[in-house]
């Protein structure tokens, strides 16, 4: 699991990124990817900020699960999608439905994406190119009344950013839904 950080540590790290152009005034999401990268386990964290004000933190994954890492051939022959870390992605999502079933944030602008196709149960970043690849932000259960916090990713991420705590997910979605677009920053654990 990702170590804990103070708000100042997170915001200072974000400010140090070459892609940082300023904090959005509205809500934005910060993902922190675990160095451990445990296979098929929700071991990352997501933080919700409003400007520079911390709102909440929850667990999830910024990496693909078992289905994406081992069975990507049926989705994309080049490998599973991997978002480049230590980048700020402005206005990348808008509110919509994930697969027409779940309230979510849907990708509308490019992420820097590479493809991991070696099936070694670890995510590796490669040469990244800007693309829209259906990288959404959603929960790990279509039943949004579910309060179970699952540990196993399975097929819930093929590159999507996924929260495994539905009550926390709903808090985030309720807050960001009125916005036209939502920005995202993805950090590697530091």
CA–CA distance, 126 with 186 (Å, rounded to integer):
16
Residue 110 is assigned to a structural domain of this protein: yes
Q: Is residue 2 part of a domain?
A: no
Average model confidence (pLDDT) across the chain: 95
**pLDDT for position 71:** 84
Q: What is the pLDDT of residue 101?
A: 93
What was the pLDDT predicted at 50? 98
Q: What is the mean pLDDT of residues 172-188?
A: 98
The Cα–Cα gap between 128 and 145 comes to 37
Q: What is the mean pLDDT of residues 30-42?
A: 95
User: With a threshold of 0.85, does the pTM exceed it?
Assistant: yes
**Does pLDDT of 165 surpass 90?**
yes
What are phi and psi for residue 65, nearest 5 degrees?
A: -90, -165
Q: Indicate left, alpha or beta for 151 from its phi (over 0: left) and psi (-120 to 50: alpha).
A: alpha
What domain count does the chain have?
1
CB 132 within 8 A of CB 110: yes
Q: Is residue 1 part of a domain?
A: no
For 24, the 3-state DSSP assignment is coil
Domain housing 126: 7-188
Start-end of H helices in the chain: 7-15, 66-70, 166-176
Q: Is residue 38 part of a domain?
A: yes
Rounded Cα distance between 184 and 45, Å, is: 13
Residue 107's SS3 state is strand
């Amino acid at each position: 699991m990702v170590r804990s950080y103070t708000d100042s540590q997170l915001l200072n790290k974000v400010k140090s990124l070459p892609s940082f152009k300023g904090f959005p005034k509205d809500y934005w999401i910060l993902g922190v990817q675990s160095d451990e990268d445990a296979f098929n386990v929700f071991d990352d964290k997501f933080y919700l900020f409003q400007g520079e004000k911390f709102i909440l933190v929850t667990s999830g994954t910024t990496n693909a699960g078992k289905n994406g890492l081992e069975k990507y051939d049926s989705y994309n022959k080049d490998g599973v999608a991997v978002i480049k870390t230590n980048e700020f992605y402005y206005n990348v999502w808008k509110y919509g439905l994930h697969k027409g079933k779940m309230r979510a944030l849907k990708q509308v602008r490019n992420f820097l994406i590479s493809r991991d196709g070696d099936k070694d149960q670890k995510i590796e970043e490669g040469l990244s190119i800007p693309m829209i690849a259906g990288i959404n932000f959603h929960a790990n259960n279509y039943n949004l009344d579910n309060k179970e916090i699952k540990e196993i990713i399975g097929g819930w991420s093929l590159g999507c950013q996924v929260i495994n705590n539905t009550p926390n997910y709903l808090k985030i979605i309720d807050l960001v839904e009125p916005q036209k677009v939502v920005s995202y920053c993805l950090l590697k654990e530091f």
